[in-house]
């Protein structure tokens, strides 16, 4: 059962940055307790804070491990469902369609893809194809909210915040492990 993104949750006073390495390079999560506010293929807390709309001054760093990073390692070891169990939160300033689109991303099974058109329809507005693309492009919780599973109607990759090489590698990893 996938943990869904919760919209409108208040950010606490400070968030904690945890880092690791993956087969695709550095990966970090910005968390409050067990809830992930931002994640991606970077080691920069400032970068993640910016993506999540959080003041970088509110980020503390930790050398300790975190359950979200354990799930990332399990994912790369072949447990594609490990990321489904990671709790995420959506910043309160996103609109209802973006929140629905990002929640719909979590329902795309690993090893499969959907088009931006299909994502728009699943999120409740079939005509909002560009908005579906924007929901992916501005997703602050990369990999865990799997926007890398969305492609163009012609099957081409489209974009990915951390680069098409990483998107291509993620899709290949999932296809091989599924």
Q: What's the CATH number where 31 sits?
A: 3.30.160.70
Residue 1 lies in a domain: no
Residue 79 lies in a domain: yes
Q: What is the mean pLDDT of the chain?
A: 92
**51 and 16, same domain (yes or no):** yes
pLDDT score, position 14: 82
Task: Return the bridge partners of 38, or none.
Answer: 30
Residue 115 lies in a domain: yes
**16 and 59, same domain (yes or no):** yes
More confident residue, 135 or 8: 135
What's the Cα-to-Cα distance from 149 to each of 60, 65, 159, rounded to whole Å? 31, 27, 11
Out of 147, 150, 151, 170, pick the active-site residue.
147
- pLDDT tens per residue across span 71-86: 999 999 999 999 999 9
pLDDT over 80 (residue 134): yes
- Count: domains in the chain: 2
Q: What confidence tier does 91 reach under pLDDT thresholds 50, 70, 90?
A: confident
**15 and 76, same domain (yes or no):** yes
pLDDT score, position 2: 38
Residue 157 lies in a domain: yes
The answer to whether residue 136 is catalytic is no
**100 and 167, same domain (yes or no):** yes
- Rama region for 111: left / alpha / beta (φ>0; ψ in -120 to 50; rest): left
pLDDT score, position 13: 61
pTM of whole model > 0.95? no
Phi, psi of 82 (to 5 degrees): -60, -35
What's the CA gap between 146 and 19, in Å, rounded?
A: 19
| List of long-range contacts for 156-164, beta carbons under 8 Å, 24+ apart | 158/116, 158/133, 161/40, 161/51, 161/137, 162/40, 162/41, 162/42
State which of 20, 55, 89 marks the end of a domain.
89
């Amino acid at each position: 059962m996938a943990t869904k993104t919760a919209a409108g949750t208040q950010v606490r006073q400070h968030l904690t940055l945890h880092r690791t390495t993956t087969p695709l390079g550095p990966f970090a999560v910005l968390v409050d307790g067990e809830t992930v506010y931002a994640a991606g293929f970077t080691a920069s807390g400032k970068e993640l804070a910016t993506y999540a709309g959080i003041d970088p001054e509110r980020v503390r760093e930790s050398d300790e491990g975190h359950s979200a990073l354990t799930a990332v390692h399990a994912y790369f070891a072949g447990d594609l469902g490990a990321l489904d169990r990671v709790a995420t939160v959506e910043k309160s300033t996103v609109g209802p369609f973006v929140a629905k689109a990002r929640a719909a991303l979590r329902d795309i099974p690993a090893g499969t893809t959907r088009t931006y058109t299909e994502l728009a329809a699943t999120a409740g507005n079939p005509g909002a194809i560009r908005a579906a693309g924007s929901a992916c492009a501005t997703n602050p919780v990369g990999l865990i909210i799997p926007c890398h599973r969305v492609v163009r109607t012609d099957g081409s990759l489209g974009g990915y915040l951390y680069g098409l090489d990483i998107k291509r590698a993620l899709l290949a990893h999932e296809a091989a492990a599924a």
